Amino acid sequence: MEATTEKNIATFTHLSALTQYFIPFGNYIFPIILWSSKKDKSEFVDHSGKQVLNFQLSLLLYSIALALIAIPILIFTVFNSIPLNTIINDESVVFDNFNFSENIGLITLGITSVFVFICLKIAEFFLIIYASIKTSNGEKFKYPITIPFIK
């Protein structure tokens, strides 16, 4: 059984990943601070810190991969459909020949990657809460779809 202090620090390590919604890169900074302060003194805190950081790094990698799919598709689809003779009337731009049927495969792939990204962010939020609850009960939690960068 883990000591109450160790459980609290491990729980706050998981919860500190939620600071990304208020502070840029808070999901990396605060878990690193909490983990590095107690990783040598507690195996439970060490395990939790590694799990949080591996999960956050994995999500960063997945997000970059999805962005590398979605952003070029968006740029290609929009700029491929814009004619050089775009009509500009009263400060509005009119696209005469934007055709979805020619680019439906690319558009579907781009929308799918955006949908997967949104699902990852929702899953991340709930997994962090779930991991915090499990950790506060003294159980070790391992995030799914995590690449073990830190061992």
pLDDT digit string, tens, across residues 15-40: 999 999 999 998 999 999 999 988 88
Q: Whole-prediction pTM value?
A: 0.82
Pairing state between β 92-94 and 87-89? antiparallel
pLDDT in tens, 85-97: 555 555 666 555 6
83 has a pLDDT exceeding 90: no
**Cα 20 to Cα 88: distance, rounded to the nearest angstrom:** 41
Mapped onto helix, strand or coil, the DSSP state of residue 88 is strand
Between CA 131 and CA 33 the distance in angstroms is: 18
CA pair distance 104, 52, nearest whole angstrom:
38
- Pairwise CA distance, residues 18 & 114, whole Å: 21
- pLDDT tens for 134-144 read 999 989 999 99
Q: Rounded to an integer, what is the distance from CA 49 to the centroid of its chain?
A: 17
Q: What is the pLDDT of residue 1?
A: 47
Kind plus residue range of the DSSP H or E element containing 89: strand 87-89
